[in-house]
Chains A and B, each alone.
Chain A
Amino acid sequence: MTVKKANLAEQDFDSAHPINKLRELNKLKKRSEQRQDSLARRLRAGEHAAATELVDIYYKQIYLFMRRLGHDRQVSEDLTQESFLNAWHHIGQLRDGKALNGWLYRIAGNVSKLYWRKHKGKKTASLEGFDISDSNNAQHDKVERNELLEQLKNAVARLPIKLRQTVVLHYIQQLTIAESADAAGVRQGTFKSRLNRALTALRKQVT
């Protein structure tokens, strides 16, 4: 009996156990939510240190978001800076920690949209600029899989801007549907419908 109890206790501390993994994940999620809430509160209070923290957390994501939307390196750099500048000016529109992702990506999305509007004739640098062989994960994948990924990248790059933004937000930037819809400035239903349209188009192109 004592041995059994000891075993159970050991199991409780075993981090590899699925239930413990789930608990660990929930804890991490809660901690991250609390951190975002506190960050949003500090930003709304006008704390300079909070702004620095926001830059540290998001500048890479926003830069890559711009690249994935089809801007070249130099433009992506400029647009990332512009997004943060706009963020400082719209700090009053930030509601809470949950809205942080959607708020910042919406600003970045609008900055990108305005850029395309001003440079209508400009060609997109697109996702084709990235090299699959750079990825460590991809090195271990089969050649066929790499080819499919290459096809998919090109197909995403060819999508109309709205559909491309949908795919980039949800699958590549890995925002939730709610966050992505907020970032795209549409209702969740509209966002899901756009996502379906995008997936249908991609399915046709990737064989």
Chain B
Amino acid sequence: MGKEEELKELLNKLPDVTTEPIPQGLSEDIKRQIPHRLSPHRGGINTINIIIDFRINKLAAAAAIIITIIFCATFLGGRDSAGGSVLQDSMLLIKYWGAANASNISVGRSKYEHLLSRGEDVVWYGDGLDSKDNSAVLMQRRLADGTYEVTFVDGHEQQVNSEELIKLLSRMLQKRTK
């Protein structure tokens, strides 16, 4: 018998010599984990699994999914009335959310920029404000019904008419001049 055949014959014997008792209860453990109803994948989940099957780093997979969503939203999604791209809006939103832990003024500033980019009628008063003065007005936003939404330094908002707005602003100016 040639060496080649002998090796193959020995290899064919390996299943018998490389076996051992199977742990008890293994099949029951596996059966307990069978979902009540097995269902083939939906499209979206399949896409994720394909990416995972490619063995891409999880972070890269997440980045790929986010880029796909932004791409789809930019080219296929609708636009709001303010102009500009969905990407810019997203960046502003991320910036707005990212600023949540910063001071109230910077959060307000992010919100102001976001509203401004959407074409809202907003005025910023936040520069040079005392962040400890909770009654100080950070910004005003004109609403469709002619009233104003005022945002204060502590983040709370109040809807006021034009007269009340003037009072609030003049009070704030008086405090500043003092």
Say yes or no for B41: interface residue by CB 8 A criterion: yes
Say yes or no for A104: interface residue by CB 8 A criterion: no
Q: A46-B40, A88-B38 are contacts. A137–B13 as well, Cβ < 8 Å?
A: yes
CA distance A63 to B23 in the complex (A): 9
Contacts of B29 in A (CB 8 A): 81
Chain A positions 52-69 with a Cβ under 8 Å from a chain B Cβ: 52, 55-56, 59-60, 63-64, 67-68
CA distance A127 to B14 in the complex (A): 10
Of the candidates B8, B17, B30, which one forms a contact with A153 in the assembled complex, judged by CB atoms under 8 Å apart? B17
Of the candidates B10, B15, B22, which one forms a contact with A63 in the assembled complex, judged by CB atoms under 8 Å apart? B22
Q: Which residue of A lies closest to B28 (CB)?
A: A55
Say yes or no for B37: interface residue by CB 8 A criterion: yes
A80 near B18 with CB under 8 A, answer no
Contacts of B15 in A (CB 8 A): 171-174
CA distance A153 to B17 in the complex (A): 9
Say yes or no for A90: interface residue by CB 8 A criterion: yes
In the complex, what's the smallest C-beta–C-beta distance from A123 to chain B, in angstroms? 18
User: Which residues of B are at the interface with A, using a C-beta cutoff of 8 A?
Assistant: 3-4, 7-8, 10-20, 22-23, 26-27, 29-31, 33-41, 46, 49, 53
User: Which residues of A are at the interface with B, using a C-beta cutoff of 8 A?
Assistant: 43-44, 46-48, 51-52, 55-56, 59-60, 63-64, 67-68, 73, 77, 80-81, 84-85, 88-93, 110, 127, 129-130, 132, 134-138, 148-149, 152-153, 156, 167, 171-174, 199, 202-203, 206
